[in-house]
Structure 1
Amino acid sequence: MKAILLFMVTGTAFALGFEITSLDTHKEINIQDEKFCLYPRDKGSDTCPLDTKKVPVPVRRFITLSSTHLASIERLQLESRLVGVSQMKHFDSQVLQSRFRKKMLHEVGMDYNLNVEKVIELQPEIVFYYAPVQDAPNLVKLKKMGIVMVPVNDYLEKHPLDVLEWLELVAAFFDREIEARKIIATIKQKYSDAASLIKNVKKRPRVMVNSAYSGSWFVPGAQSFLAQWIKDAGGDYLFSDLSGRGGHNIGLEEALNRGMHADIWLITADVKSRQDLIDQDKRHGLLMPFQTNMVFNSLGIRNKNETTDWFERSMANPDLVLMDLISVFHKEVVPDYKRRWYDRLY
């Protein structure tokens, strides 16, 4: 019996990056050009197609090279199977910090600084990563040595709910798809409930994003999940004319020209005040939201350790990000809501 899971989300396109086919004897996963065969650990891999990478499940030992996978690891309760991460400073988890102190979890580095010898020493059955292998020579080296590398390209999706669907992919390697589907269904319902809050709003604020960096200004395209978040929260994305999901370098002059007509400015930056933005580039002060005190930073709300889990948990909690943005764009709709990430800069 065959079941093909394409992960369709109501109101969105198919999740673009992967497909799971469940057979009686094994599961086959396609992630772009990569093919994997997940077979029961106690049954053997004889039924797997020859052109697939074979993985016994449930996986017992794995490594992740991205802190954005943390929420999936926590939700599926996989902490005890995780043996390596890129850098611990990026993983805001008391459980993982404890395992690291006890030397049950190890750092392996990332990108060009990836410690190939350490990865091999840890004997992972799979390694989750997030960038094209050809962009990191050490990933290529691991792949050639037979380490099973699993790309998690959730960041390339168009819709925040499509990003969430990648939880099912991770779960498949641990035989925890049932748990994943329940989690996904719950969050999708919360997202839908949040989006319905602004169905009667009359005015949609014009939203500017990001900031100057070394004379450049990068913004995501209209088909990015950030643009979708802004739309679903009742805002008008100022760069909706730019196609695609990836980033566009629109240049500082163009950004400033558009920013003169923005109502709200969203940034993700290590700054604590508007003065910090001026110190980075004094021309930031020309933007209308700067002058009207409508600048909001997704790294603004910190915990008691002065850190934020935006990078680790925001993409895995699209409903909470949406509520934050609704609170920013239409405070009157949720006057008592306490934002988790976005904070106004003064």
Structure 2
Amino acid sequence: MALKAKEKPMVLANEMYGDVWYLPGGKTSTANFISDANADYILKNNTEEKAVTMSFEEVFAKSGTVQYWINVGNHTSRKEMLSMNPFYRKLNVFNKGKIYVITGKERGQANDFFESGVVRSDLVLKDYIKIFHPELLPGYQLTYMKELK
């Protein structure tokens, strides 16, 4: 279904913890989801099957054309993101793109993305297709992801 999309947007994933950005390697499940949803991931040519650590400057240099930032954790607002890391303001995607957190399906203190999302890869992929190509799934409501306004 995703191959029917006319555009292939550029995607950034995850966020910084301290001074390190932990990005999914190019051969991880996240990178595969992005590819299967017919989008380009900034580390698509990377061969790691685990997280890749980068500095903010390295991510900044690769993210100029990024339109979507996914799996940004459990933030409640962009303002709250900036309180944790003011450098995010320098990213084009922070100012002009779409940001998605993984709190679309919380159960009390638990985040169901890490529970049922592991076995419902069909819904995780569907979320990514809806995010990158909303015209392909007009009636679908996101399950695990939520846009951060």
Question: TM-score, length-normalised on structure 2?
Answer: 0.92
Correspondence for 1:326: 129
Bigger relative CO (Cα 8 Å, ≥ 6 apart)? 2
- Report the Cα distance in structure 1 between the residues aligned to 2:92 and 2:71, rounded to whole angstroms: 14
Answer yes or no: is 1:345 the counterpart of 2:137: no
- Give the unaligned 5+ runs of structure 1: 1-196
State yes or no: 1:282 paired with 2:124. Answer: no
- Flag the structure with larger Rg: 1
**Equivalent position SS for 2:100:** strand
| 1:226 Cα offset (Å) | 0.7
Indicate which of 310, 327, 330 corresponds to 2:113: 310
Moved >6 Å (runs of 4+)? none
Maintained 8 Å contact 1:299/1:341: yes
Deviations 1:233-254 (A, max 9, x none): 1111111122120111121111
- Does structure 1 residue 254 correspond to structure 2 residue 58? yes
**Letter of the aligned partner of 1:319 in structure 2?**
D
Question: What secondary structure is seen at the aligned counterpart in 2 of 1:199?
Answer: helix
1:276 Cα offset (Å): 1.4
For 1:39-188, list aligned pairs within 5 A: none
The Cα RMSD (Å) is 1.5
Which whole-Å CA distance do the structure 1 matches of 2:109 and 2:139 have between them? 24
Which residues of structure 2 form unaligned runs of 5+? none
Q: Separation in 1 of the partners of 2:62 and 2:105?
A: 27
From 291, 294, 308, give the equivalent of 2:95: 291
SS at match of 2:65: coil
Report how far residue 270 of structure 1 moved: 2.5
Q: In the alignment, which residue of structure 2 is the partner of 1:48?
A: none
Indicate whether 1:238 and 2:42 are aligned: yes
Please state how far the C-alpha of 1:293 moved relative to its aligned partner: 4.3
Contact 1:296–1:344 (CA under 8 A) maintained in structure 2: yes
